[in-house]
Amino acid sequence: MKSGFILVDKPSGMTSFDVVKRVRAVLGVKKVGHAGTLDPLASGLMLIAFGEGTKLLEYFIGADKVYEVLAVFGATSTTFDADGEIVSTGVSNKIEQEEINKIIQERFLGLIDQVPPKYSALKIAGKRAYELARSGVDFDIKSREVRVYGVEVAEYDWPEVRMRVSCGSGTYIRSLVHDLGSELMGVGAYVKELRRLKVADFDLDDAVSLDEAVDSLGHVTEVSSLEEFVVGLYSVELDSVDIQGLADGKVLMGKKIDYEWAMAFHEGRLVGVVEPFMEGIKFKKVINVS
């Protein structure tokens, strides 16, 4: 089975699932997934894994991320971005950059409460929130705690402001911009452009476009090995006897790790993921790559 991962620069106007479908069709591999959805309007970095690589995605879905967002002030949107119905707030006040920075520092850094957009892929009573919203169903989404490490104003050209946002997993940039607009004298704001620049230690500069990644002959280029995928993650080295015992369902006593999991290697090859158990470790996931 083919296994590996690719870094793709998703174009705006395409869903994350569209990217997965195209890679799946070209590879002829059923097991294809990604480490975090991007809105259709958004572009930027997607980590696409296939084959045994999909077993590793859960260790990146919760990773920190960096975005570049172009916000438009003076209006709101039903979807919090340019894909929705744009409505002027009627508030024409020009907010200076210094005031924007002040509100960001006071209200939008560290652990903050945030309500995700109703037009999102969150599930409400078994259905996607965006499906309910499109059907005109009235519902509420509970606020959640998210972490924002930094918001830097990169360009100020009122009413458009470009910002760079570093944040933890689960942060909705659309909600961040919407809430920022509400805090600034009710002037309102929505996302015009959104680009993901970084996921964990993976950078957009190392990604290729989808067209470049999948060439006309149906071969995927720019494919990286699973070993390259997990560089930087906590790992342990195992010998062949250890691996055989773990594969037989045994606990490797005396071998301890300091985290909830660790990548298990043998002679430079990724063989699985181990976790603490009693006074040793056991396999949490086995990577079957010939």
- 39, 81, 83, 242: the catalytic one is 39
- Delineate the domains of the chain, giving CATH numbers in brackets: 4-62+204-226 (3.30.2350.10), 65-199 (3.30.2350.10), 234-286 (2.30.130.10)
| Residue 254: pLDDT over 70 | yes
Rounded to whole angstroms, the Cα distance separating 261 from 222 reads 28
Whether 39 is catalytic is yes
| Residue 221: pLDDT over 70 | no
| Residue 1: pLDDT over 90 | no
Kindly indicate the confidence band of residue 26, based on its pLDDT and cuts at 50, 70 and 90: confident
Q: Which of 146-160, 209-223, 251-265 has the lowest mean pLDDT?
A: 209-223
Which pLDDT score, from 0 to 100, does residue 29 have?
A: 84
Phi then psi for residue 139, to 5 deg, are -155, 160
Residue 64, amino acid:
D
Element (H, E) at 229: helix 226-229
Which pLDDT score, from 0 to 100, does residue 19 have?
A: 94
Which pLDDT score, from 0 to 100, does residue 115 have?
A: 96
Which pLDDT score, from 0 to 100, does residue 216 have?
A: 41
Tell which wins on pLDDT, 6 or 194.
Answer: 194
| Residue 217: pLDDT over 50 | no
Which pLDDT score, from 0 to 100, does residue 121 have?
A: 85
For residue 256, count CB atoms less than 10 angstroms from its CB and return exposed for 0-12, middle for 13-18, buried for 19 or more: exposed
* pLDDT tens profile 172-184: 999 999 999 999 9
pTM of this structure: 0.91
The mean pLDDT value for 139-164 works out to 97
